[in-house]
Amino acid sequence: MHAYMIDGTCKKRELSSETIAAVLKNNGWNTRMLTVRNASVLPCTACNGCSERRIGECVIQDDGAEIAEHAATSDLFIILSEVTFGGLSSLAKRAFERTLPNILPYFTMYRKELHHVLRYPRRPHMLFLGWLPEPDEQQEILFHRFTERSAVNFMTTHKTVVFHGCHIQEQLEEVSREIYQLSGGGL
């Protein structure tokens, strides 16, 4: 089983991509990671080059060019981010938007809503891991709603966990259980 993780945190924290990768490895997952703060990932310019010039590939040649491919070919697609105004950090959002080559410029009905057609039939399970310095109910509600809608856009299943400053170890156990369930054929 293959996981692809985007670490969109703005600074290294106790909850890190390395920590999550260790949990994944303990559950039998092979993991590739992109730590955006240490990489060159330019924002998507919505130029449609991935639909018109380099079909299914981003025309921006930087470290973010691999994101769409790995997101489309993994069994588990993970986004790790601080929760910022109920959404992703600027780094995580920048990387997440680089999955645009995985959709077509056409539309279909999905759950009685209009959505882009996905370019590839494979739909990885999505795991969103957010971090807040302390509990904030409003931000958590918004983050859960954002991640739910993102999963609908990917036409896939998802799990969202929001970590709080000092309770990371207990919450890592929750993530470990979720990953274990996925490892047991839950995909």
CATH number of 89's domain? 3.40.50.360
Instruction: List phi, psi (to 5°) of 136.
Output: -150, 100
Q: What does the alpha-carbon distance between residue 83 and residue 130 come to, in Å, rounded to a whole number?
A: 5
Contact 98, 46 (CB under 8 A): no
Q: Tokens 């490892």 correspond to what residue?
A: 183
* Predicted confidence (pLDDT) per residue in 77-94, tens digit: 999 999 999 999 999 999
Q: How many domains does the chain fold into?
A: 1
Question: At 187, is the pLDDT very low, low, confident or very high (cuts 50, 70, 90)?
Answer: very low
CB-count burial class (<10 Å; 0-12, 13-18, 19+) for 75? middle
Provide the CB-side half-sphere exposure for 21 (13 A, CA). 13
Per the structure, the complete domain to which residue 100 belongs is given by 2-186
- Are 4 and 98 spatial neighbours (Cβ–Cβ below 8 Å)? no
For range 15-38, the mean pLDDT? 89
Residue 40 has pLDDT above 50, yes or no: yes
What average pLDDT score do residues 154-177 get? Answer: 80
Global pTM reads: 0.90
pLDDT (average), residues 160-183: 75
To the nearest 10°, report the CA torsion of 78, 81, 85, 86.
30
Residue 152, pLDDT > 90, answer yes
Q: How far is CA 82 from CA 91, 142, 181, in A?
A: 10, 13, 25
Asked if residue 186 has pLDDT above 50, the reply is no
